[in-house]
Amino acid sequence: MPKLTDRQAAFLHEEPNVAVVAALREEGTPHLTVVWVDWDGEHVVLNLNNFRAKLEHLRRDPRVSVLVLDRNDPYRWVAIEGKVAEITTEGAYEHIVRQAGVYFGRDDYVLQEGEERILVKIEPERVEGDRVE
């Protein structure tokens, strides 16, 4: 399993950069969405809610691509291809509160009515990047 460099890990974990996630629809076409992204030392971590179509796509087909773009320089990026290793609700709310701190500078997150937070952990199989080595 490829590992991210320390700089790539910080790019995902410490900086408020967004990711474009590609999951596969049932007929095989890509479903692209912009999401917050994180790194737990072993997996790319997405924090989704139970309303999103991409969650069902990832449950059906674990293959996924994640392109993380520098918020200030889109020519600085990291691309990760891999497979979903785990989908869980455990720790998801606490994680989204931490993510709100990274992305918005605040330590709270208010759930919508009926919303449940879900962590999707992705095991990298291929990592490449430009100017984030």
| Helix, coil or strand: residue 55 | helix
Decide if 22 is inside a domain.
Answer: yes
**Per-residue pLDDT for 68 more than 90?**
yes
* Cα-based angle 48, 83, 47 (whole degrees, multiple of 5): 15
pLDDT tens column, 110-130: 888 999 999 999 999 999 998
pLDDT at 109: 87
Nearest to 44 by CA among 133, 124, 132, 130: 124
Q: Measuring CA to CA, how many Å separate 18 from each of 69, 74, 103, 113?
A: 6, 10, 9, 25
| Contact assessment for residue 83 and residue 64, using Cβ atoms and an 8 Å cutoff | yes
Decide if 98 is inside a domain.
Answer: yes
The CATH number of whichever domain residue 118 belongs to comes to 2.30.110.10
**Per-residue pLDDT for 106 more than 90?**
no
Count of domains forming the chain: 1
What would the DSSP string read from start to end of 76-127?
SEEEEEEEEEEEE-TTHHHHHHHHHHHHHS-S--PPPTT--EEEEEEEEEEE
Decide if 1 is inside a domain.
Answer: no
Decide if 64 is inside a domain.
Answer: yes
pLDDT tens column, 19-58: 999 999 999 999 999 999 999 999 999 999 999 899 999 9
Task: Give the domain range for residue 55.
Answer: 6-130
Percent of the chain scoring above 70 in pLDDT: 99
pLDDT at 3: 84
| Contact assessment for residue 24 and residue 31, using Cβ atoms and an 8 Å cutoff | yes
Decide if 87 is inside a domain.
Answer: yes
pLDDT at 126: 97
